[in-house]
């Protein structure tokens, strides 16, 4: 079981049978969601070996035509991706491959039993670290050994933007760390953050493809697991192998929007302003020659998880709706929408004869503008604000809402998210808790610790968008 504190979620003696049943159902759905986006499963579904041929989705690559295979990449899911690719390649006699990957600190890789063919670098997320920088430089030096007769396989998943730092020109790691902290606290969307990251990096924004083209013109295959709303390849890990549709002008405008341009390092500001005036500094765009031998494959996303959750709940005789795959914006604003959505669906529920009830699934990624000094994350912030909204309502129905980051860690907490239900609302007055006190300090995790409804998995090795599961019973 992935949920380490599963039993703790059922210990409160005041939980009714209906509340217990809903928690069991919701958490079983969550377990199914995690398993459905395991990197090993996504690799095995998308990639096959047939003799000496590597079959990826509809395309076939004859590996006997390449002298050597170089495997590189980074992200929260990259360890299991690399291990799964190695298992496939080992089916081919005398195959010549080796690799360097960056993975997240805290991830247990003992089950993968990596051979000496791989160099594994552990680095920090969401703030880039020296270890990540050293690992990324090692990758670049590694693939510079390749020739046009070699194949480079790049494994990309969410988290790669932080785990694959390689700043342009004179930008120091400290400058990069400060910028990332400012952006993460600003409330900027992941697309906006990555637009800036791409323009201060020699790796991101198609610049890896550009490097490969300049040094070897080797074939380059990217296997990509999405963690962004809309699955835009240029946003996943800031798109190291895909054309960059954004510009230096876009990056500067975003910094102005969040009043950060005068707070960033002068070295970063200089790179951006120089790039604005010099078109040759711009990241490679569509139709650039560097992409002629590049093949990008999206092999998985949160859509896989949503599909499996809905299939499971329908088997349990729930009427299931997929209400959004573009959940975004401020967490507290979304909780207001959530209140409207549930209120509307409860009215429908009371007019129908669904055997068990209704369920709604949504996916995306919210943001939080940090104002306090507490511990929390975007899903916990959203759930806590929803509790604040409905705390005085007379609820004549049973509900459960689970909101989680499927990689296992969100914000500066150790939780992947939390669950709320009728029990939480009932217990507020007994425990003397005021949600607004915790909201004012961005301290949502402390609230859910007291309520014993934070959800703990630790790093899952998966990385796709967040999932919200809503279950209603009349």
User: Which residues partner with 300 through β-bridges?
Assistant: 225
Side-chain half-sphere of 6: how many Cα atoms within 13 Å? 13
In this prediction, residue 97 carries a pLDDT of 97
In this prediction, residue 64 carries a pLDDT of 95
Measure CA 152 to chain center: 24
**What are residue 16's phi and psi, to 5 degrees?**
-80, 165
CA distance 100 to 121: 8
Could you say which DSSP state residue 464 is in?
Answer: -
| Residues 9 and 452 sit within 8 Å (Cβ to Cβ) | yes
| Domains defined for the chain, CATH in brackets | 7-37+303-473 (3.40.1480.10), 39-166+201-246+283-300 (3.40.50.10180)
Q: What is the pLDDT of residues 59-109, one digit of tens each?
A: 999 999 999 999 999 999 999 999 999 999 999 999 999 999 999 988 888
Helix/strand/coil percentages in the chain, nearest 5: 45, 20, 35
CA distance 114 to 189: 36
- Which residues, 6 or more positions from 55, have their beta carbon under 8 angstroms from its beta carbon? 47, 48, 49, 61
Cα torsion through 121, 125, 128, 133, rounded to 10? 10
Nearest C-alpha neighbor of 286 from the set 182, 209, 374 = 209
Low-confidence ranges of the chain (pLDDT < 70): 353-355
Q: What is the pLDDT of residues 125-165, one digit of tens each?
A: 889 999 999 999 999 999 999 999 999 999 999 889 999 99
In this prediction, residue 354 carries a pLDDT of 67
Model-level pTM? Answer: 0.87
In this prediction, residue 112 carries a pLDDT of 85
In this prediction, residue 430 carries a pLDDT of 87
Q: Within the chain, what is the greatest distance between any pair of CA atoms?
A: 70
Note every long-range contact of 49-52, with CB atoms under 8 Å and residues 24 or more positions apart, other chains counting. 49/88, 49/89, 49/91, 49/92, 51/92, 52/92
Structure tokens at 242: 């895909």
CA distance 405 to 411: 9
| Residues 421 and 395 sit within 8 Å (Cβ to Cβ) | no
Taking only Cα atoms into account, the Rg of the chain, rounded to an integer number of angstroms, comes to 23
Given phi > 0 = left and psi -120 to 50 = alpha, else beta, which region is 231? left
In this prediction, residue 349 carries a pLDDT of 86
């Amino acid at each position: 079981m992935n949920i380490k504190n599963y039993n703790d979620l059922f210990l409160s003696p005041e939980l009714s049978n209906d509340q217990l049943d809903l928690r069991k159902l919701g958490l079983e759905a969550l377990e199914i969601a995690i398993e459905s986006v395991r990197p090993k499963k996504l690799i095995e579904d998308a990639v096959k070996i047939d003799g000496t041929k590597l079959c990826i989705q509809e395309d076939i690559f004859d590996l006997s035509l390449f002298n050597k295979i170089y495997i590189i990449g980074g992200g929260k899911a990259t360890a299991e991706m690399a291990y799964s690719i190695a298992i496939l390649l080992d089916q081919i006699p005398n195959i010549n491959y080796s690799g360097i990957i960056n993975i997240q600190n805290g991830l247990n890789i003992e089950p993968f039993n990596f051979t000496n063919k791989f160099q594994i670098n552990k680095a920090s997320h969401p703030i880039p670290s020296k270890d990540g920088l050293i690992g990324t430089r090692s990758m670049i030096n590694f693939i510079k050994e390749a020739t046009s007769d070699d194949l480079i396989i790049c494994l990309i998943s969410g988290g790669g933007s932080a785990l694959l730092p390689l700043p342009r020109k004179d930008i120091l790691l400290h400058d990069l760390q400060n910028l990332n902290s400012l952006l993460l606290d600003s409330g900027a969307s992941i697309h906006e953050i990555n637009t800036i990251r791409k323009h201060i990096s020699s790796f991101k924004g198609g610049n890896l493809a550009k490097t490969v083209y300049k040094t070897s013109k080797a074939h380059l295959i990217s296997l990509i697991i999405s963690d962004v709303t809309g699955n835009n390849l240029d946003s996943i890990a800031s798109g190291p192998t895909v054309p960059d549709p954004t510009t230096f002008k876009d990056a500067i405008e975003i910094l102005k929007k969040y009043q950060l341009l005068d707070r960033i390092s002068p070295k970063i500001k200089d790179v951006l302003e120089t790039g604005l005036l010099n078109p040759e500094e711009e990241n490679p765009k569509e139709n650039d020659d560097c992409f002629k031998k590049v093949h990008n494959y999206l092999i998985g996303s949160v859509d896989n998880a949503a599909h499996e959750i809905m299939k499971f709940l329908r088997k349990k005789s729930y009427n299931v709706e997929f209400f959004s795959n573009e959940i975004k914006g401020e967490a507290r604003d979304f909780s207001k929408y959530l209140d409207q959505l549930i209120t509307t669906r409860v009215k429908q529920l009371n007019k129908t004869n669904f055997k068990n009830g209704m369920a709604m699934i949504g996916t995306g990624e919210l943001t939080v503008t940090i104002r306090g000094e507490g511990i929390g994350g975007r899903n916990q912030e959203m759930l806590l604000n929803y509790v604040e909204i409905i705390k005085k309502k007379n609820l004549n129905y049973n509900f459960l809402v689970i909101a989680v980051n499927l990689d296992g860690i969100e914000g500066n907490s150790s939780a992947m998210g939390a669950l709320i239900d009728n029990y939480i609302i009932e217990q507020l007055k007994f425990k003397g808790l005021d949600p607004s006190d915790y909201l004012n300090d961005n301290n949502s995790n402390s609230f859910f610790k007291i309520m014993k409804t934070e959800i703990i998995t630790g790093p899952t090795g998966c990385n796709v968008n967040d999932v919200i599961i809503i279950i209603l019973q009349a």
